[in-house]
Amino acid sequence: METQAWPRRGERHDGMRIPSGCAVAGVGSTGGRPISGDTVVCMVCAMPERANGLGAGYAAYGIYPDLADCYAFHLMYEDAGARASVEELLQAGFQVEVAEPIPTRPRVLVGAPMLWRYFLRVPERVARSWEESHAEPGGDGPPGEDDYVVRTVMDINTGIPGAFVFSSGRNMGVFKAVGHPEAVADFFMLDQYRGHSWLGHSRFPTNTPGWWGGAHPFSLLDWSVVHNGELSSYGTNRRYVESFGYRCTLLTDTEVIVYLVDLLVRRHGLPLQAACRILTPPFWRDLDGMGEEAAQLRTARVIYGGALLNGPFTTILGHSRGLVGLTDRLMLRPLVAATRGDLFYLASEEAAIRAVCSNPGRVWSPPAGEPVAVEVGLSQVAVSAEVARS
């Protein structure tokens, strides 16, 4: 894999604002081989005109192989009191395997909150009690460990002032902050991590403030999302997911995307491809020419009307089995895909891909509203976690 140094700040953008907003990037290996965090960082930093220092972040999959069966909670704390309250809750409801600060390079960023991570298992007695007390006739199915973890995340984020869970999946982690993308990566020492797939984002806030918890990616369980654009459907989408028990607290429209995916795929059991067609369905006028599929799409639009995403956007979704790129139905925000060998790339700009792969085998722009996806061969994953237990 070809790499190069990150662009120097101010080298290319000359203070010019690019109205199409954020930089998004993703890279994954279909063979499940380890990829250095430097790769996605270089991709994001190749688009400096899309950054303004008000937020950046990354999500990595396969970085905690020695604790792969644990839920890895990444938390931000404003003070020691918030940490004490969260740890009391976690001790009561989980088996805590590891509790430690997230490794960082001090003095790289200013104003950092307390950053801790916890590797957790749900005890059998807790899981059984949870299932018995929360089973609902005619519901989505019996609640399980994932539902218990989701409720815990929501309870912490809404009920404990000064505490915020920003990552909660297995064998993955989110790293984000207020700052430029190269500084955020340096702060979290991402050059020392290896994962089979990565997401990256450089945030240009539009309607929301820049704060550590509000930087992308947004994550719940194994799902993570980076997003360029804004959702004009946010009010409808928020009311819809909150009717299923999710609570939107992060002051951004992007939050609802990850909740919608979790609802459609994990809770309702839909294939990921079908979930994407619900989020960005064909226009009504285009259904007549789609044959037998048209009836299914009409039904889905009626049942899941509150999940339809409107507005200009590009989003890249990460999960334990791969990556998905998706644009709005008019492609008002850019997305480019490329492949080289077993590597798969997604980015806002082709230049970001060529910064790490100067001669890709194939480069294309996916059709508007149609998902482009890659799956990783998890059976072949053999990644290191150099700072997993620093």
- Alpha carbon 203 to its chain centroid, in Å, reads 13
Q: Reduce the DSSP state of residue 58 to 3 states and report it.
A: strand
Fill in the DSSP letter of residue 109: S
CA distance 126 to 280: 38
Q: Reduce the DSSP state of residue 261 to 3 states and report it.
A: helix
Catalytic residue, candidates 22, 42, 45, 357: 22
| Residue reference for tokens 């809750």 | 89
Are the C-beta atoms of 65 and 381 separated by less than 8 Å?
Answer: yes
Q: How far apart are the first and last CA of the chain?
A: 27
Check if 276 is active-site: no
Fill in the DSSP letter of residue 385: B
Closest among 251, 192, 262, 288 to 54, alpha carbons compared = 251
What angle, 0 to 180 degrees and rounded to 10, lies between the N-to-C axes of helices 145-159 and 124-134?
A: 80
Closest among 274, 270, 268, 237 to 370, alpha carbons compared = 274
Angle at 189 between CA 119 and CA 346, to 5 degrees: 90
Are the C-beta atoms of 62 and 368 separated by less than 8 Å?
Answer: no
Please spell the DSSP secondary structure of 43-96, one letter per residue: HHHT-GGG--SS-EEEEEES--GGGTTSEEEEEEESSHHHHHHHHHHHHHHSEE
CA distance 153 to 149: 6
Token duo for residue 339: 């492949």
Q: Reduce the DSSP state of residue 193 to 3 states and report it.
A: strand
What angle, 0 to 180 degrees and rounded to 10, lies between the N-to-C axes of helices 145-159 and 80-93?
A: 160
Are the C-beta atoms of 65 and 238 separated by less than 8 Å?
Answer: no
CA distance 304 to 296: 12
CA distance 373 to 316: 10
Token duo for residue 201: 């984002």
- Alpha carbon 59 to its chain centroid, in Å, reads 6
By annotation, the residues acting in catalysis are 22
